Amino acid sequence: MVAAPCAHQPVLVDAAGGWISPGLVDLHLHGSAGHDFADAEPDSWAAILRAHLTTGTTTALATIASTSPIATRAALATAHELSGRPEAFNLAGVHLEGPCLAAEQRGAHDRNHLREPRELLEELTPIPPALRMVTLAPELPGAELAITYLVQQGVIVAAGHSAATPTQLDTAKAAGLSHLSHLWSGQSTLTRPTAHRVPGLLEASLASEGLTAEIITDGHHLPPELLTIAHRCLGADRLCLVSDATAATGLPRGSQFRVGATTGVVRDGYATTLDGHSLCGSTTTLAGCVAEMFRRTDASVPDVLTMATATPARVLGRYPQKGSLIPDAADGDAVVFTQDLEVAAVVIGGRLVGTW
């Protein structure tokens, strides 16, 4: 049984035969049900956070895809405004995915809104209070200086949408880069320009020491073989499951939506850019990704749950307050799963959100 306060008396939730997990921690989450975090409307943010909270995401980094400096500043201001308010209790800050990305690895990001690290430094000086993570391409001119500045200000820096070489990744790591955004998505891979093979960012990521990494396990971004490789290379203590959920989540097939400055369209269980050339985030919650990782690989349930709770919480520097159920240390966030890892109940701060 799980006891959680509701109104003035405890409520008992029967977890018999299931799993009790810490609340889910999503480092990479753009939106839900037609709403995108790049919109600065507090009501849109509250709707996104509420939708994901009810499916178990008790800690969320609001992720902003590449967009204009004005839109980015407005979104960061909204995050600061909502911080600590009841409607944003699961908001852990902002993750800027871009705009300092490699054009050839930009995926669904709008080329017109890509910028150089020097420009981003100007935009982020002084550091906005809500900023917690920045994904950038470490091979861009000025990236090392940007990484150093951001890390000194307490911001996590990740490599993503990048064609960095292993040497460039090592240089970025020495400057303080500590994380890797969504493996295989927006990462350069092995080339053979002459007789010799040259590793890309993907191979450097899988062979890295100490870096943590994300993987999107929505059932569409990556096949089971690649999920298995990531788990075997990095292990549950370095690999984070992320949803990359967009405004497409919960919308019917054929719906158009925005993520950052890009327009996408909902297909059969996934989303793409309008031209169909790139996946455009996902339509799946982190709880759905947990279930997919369990169904599609041989990872154990404890490993799968660790990758969606303790490991991303450590990336954020929030463990054991988040991502754990340690008495007198954790915040009281929990998810009750069925035996098949379907969400049965959600608790945040010791308060029951709902049961299903």
Tell me which residues are annotated as active site.
Answer: 244
Cα–Cα distance list, 186 to 34, 119, 124, 231, 247 (Å): 24, 22, 24, 19, 20
Residue with tokens 């799980």: 2
Contact assessment for residue 147 and residue 175, using Cβ atoms and an 8 Å cutoff? yes
Q: What kind and span of H or E run contains 250?
A: none
Residue 85 identity (one-letter amino acid): R
Q: How many residues would you count in the chain?
A: 356
Q: What kind and span of H or E run contains 103?
A: none
Dihedral sign from CA coordinates of 293, 273, 76, 99: positive
Taking the C-alpha atoms of residue 37 and residue 44, their distance in angstroms, rounded to an integer, is 7
Taking the C-alpha atoms of residue 216 and residue 45, their distance in angstroms, rounded to an integer, is 22
Residue 269 identity (one-letter amino acid): G
Burial of residue 69 (number of CB atoms within 10 Å: 0-12, 13-18, 19+):
middle
Burial of residue 197 (number of CB atoms within 10 Å: 0-12, 13-18, 19+):
exposed
Residue 297 identity (one-letter amino acid): T
Contact assessment for residue 40 and residue 78, using Cβ atoms and an 8 Å cutoff? yes
CA-based end-to-end distance of the chain: 15
3-state secondary structure 147-196: HHHHHHCCCEEEECCECCCHHHHHHHHHHCCCEECCCCCCECCCECCCCC
